[in-house]
Structure 1
């Protein structure tokens, strides 16, 4: 499964786990996403339908490049149009396209910046999701 499709599933996971996996299991097998044995193993390994569907979604991420579209087709077969619409409308960021790593637009290495803050009431503002602040005495 490609990174963008995997992230669509992850961003909609809370809604997707409400699907009863027992209802769609035969269609998932028919679409070639799972063998009957894999499906039985997944469904028997978890106590609740939500847990079973969560395991199914996690395992689906390991499937091939057509897994997302096959899963989407199964959702449509069972009239989960609202879920399919939500998946299709899921906004993806540059980070989503890079498997959780930020997209480096310039291909330049990140720059290390040292800031000396001393005294009382000093403030540091660091922008960026992957900023690191180390505070300690020298």
Structure 2
């Protein structure tokens, strides 16, 4: 029997943003209920050409965002949460405005699970209905 990942993505939301504005960010919960680990390799969207996974790290009271160049490990039977001030998707160079309440799609590419389309709600507070 081969160890396989079983990936689900929930609670995806994105802060509002404007074409000529500063970068915005996306957050979500990734669960792997399978017997094998997986790795999030990349994220894309039709509303931006530049999405990167970053982790906020604080050193000597200075917060900085560190690009996760090798992707994010999703261990077997584990949950990885992207949240404010921690792991997040930095979204730069918007090609359209993202407004409160709008529904958009993120395309997550995993090493084993392949591509998964994830609906995301634009929200300034992160309060979404995703149950």
Q: TM-score range by the shorter chain?
A: under 0.3
Q: Which has the higher helix share?
A: 1
TM-score, normalised by the number of residues in structure 1: 0.24
TM-score, normalised by the number of residues in structure 2: 0.25
Q: Which has the higher strand share?
A: 2
Q: Point out the structure with max Rg over C-alpha.
A: 1
